[in-house]
Amino acid sequence: MKKKIFTLVFVLVGLSLHAQQTEHYTQYEFNQFAFNPAVAGTKSCIDIRTGYRFQWVGIEGAPQTGFINAHAPLRFSKKNRNSFGPKHGIGGQISRDAFGPFSFLRAEVVYALHIPINRNWTMSFGTALGVKQATFNVQNLSTEVYDPAVPNSSPSYVSFPDGKAGLWVADKKTYIGLSIHNLYGRTMKDVGTGVNDFQRHFYFTAGRSFRLKSTWTLIPSVLFLMTKNTPVDFHLSAVVDMDNKFAFGIGLRRTDAITAQIRVKLFNFVSVGYSFDFVISELAGNMWYSHEITGGFNSCSNYGNSSTTDCPAFE
């Protein structure tokens, strides 16, 4: 009975909630490209990230999110690789977010321009252009009695173009980013129980690394999410990194949970991460938790003292 009522609540308010809250990740520090297209090409090699998030495990129809993305510098000639001047980056991303009878599939391509401010700092501008598909699956819905507001079929809506824009300012120890999602603010019809708008989302993120000892680094960071008619959401996080081989951290998300995460670097190019969210919202009484698993691949970050380059704070 509770499961059916909970699913019905998803139907009545879920779409409007999603229009105001896009997917979020606990391990946002290691997946900045998912939020900000200006990050594309900020590393000297191709960078690939993938992951899956299980939110509120134990609730039927609870949100689940999966993603894979990749970005790399765009070079026109080898002689410009280390030159001082504007540089370019490209990338792409596919993600799927599902909860209750709703699912959202996104695909996008990304371009970024990186302009050096001086020898240490770089300012980047990025844009993403893609397509978004929203689907309402009545097979995942159950009600106690007939409700005329629930559609008899599984309608789908395709939004094109779907866009993002971002600004990124960083050096090797500090980063500051600002991005806008749902740039075109499209209206979605015939999916769910009415007409719904994709609200624009504004993300602000910042972080800095502090050397504690020769092999230990503290990286505090913050992520703010702002959108129309909802309170500002934020995630505070602090990660301790040991020689870029092992990292662990804790965090606080204002509206939802206390978080913990670990990350292990394997050799010089593979990383694996796991995070756990201890729910502190009204759902906490039922002891539901969230889990997130991520993986990464790149060959240009440092691994221990053998490296000859510094790893940016947002690695």
pLDDT less than 70: residues of the chain: 1-22, 76-84, 138-157, 186-197, 282-287, 301-315
Q: List residues bridging with 208 in a β-sheet.
A: 174
Whole-angstrom Cα distance, residue 27 to residue 276? 10
Judge if pTM exceeds 0.85.
no
- Which of 309, 263, 304, 285 has its CA nearest to residue 49? 263
Structure tokens, 172? 């090797």
Residue in 252, 255, 250 with CA at minimum distance from that of residue 282: 255
The predicted-structure confidence for 81-137, as pLDDT tens digits, reads as follows: 566 678 999 999 999 998 877 888 999 999 999 999 998 999 999 999 999 888 877
pLDDT of residue 285: 62
- End-to-end Cα, the chain, rounded Å: 46
Rounded-to-integer distance, Cα 241 and Cα 5, Å: 44
- Residue 230 is predicted with a pLDDT of 81
Q: Are 170 and 122 in contact (CB under 8 A)?
A: yes
Q: Are 273 and 261 in contact (CB under 8 A)?
A: yes
Quote the pLDDT of residue 185.
Answer: 73
Catalogue all structural domains in the chain, each as residue range(s) with its CATH number.
2-306 (2.40.160.40)
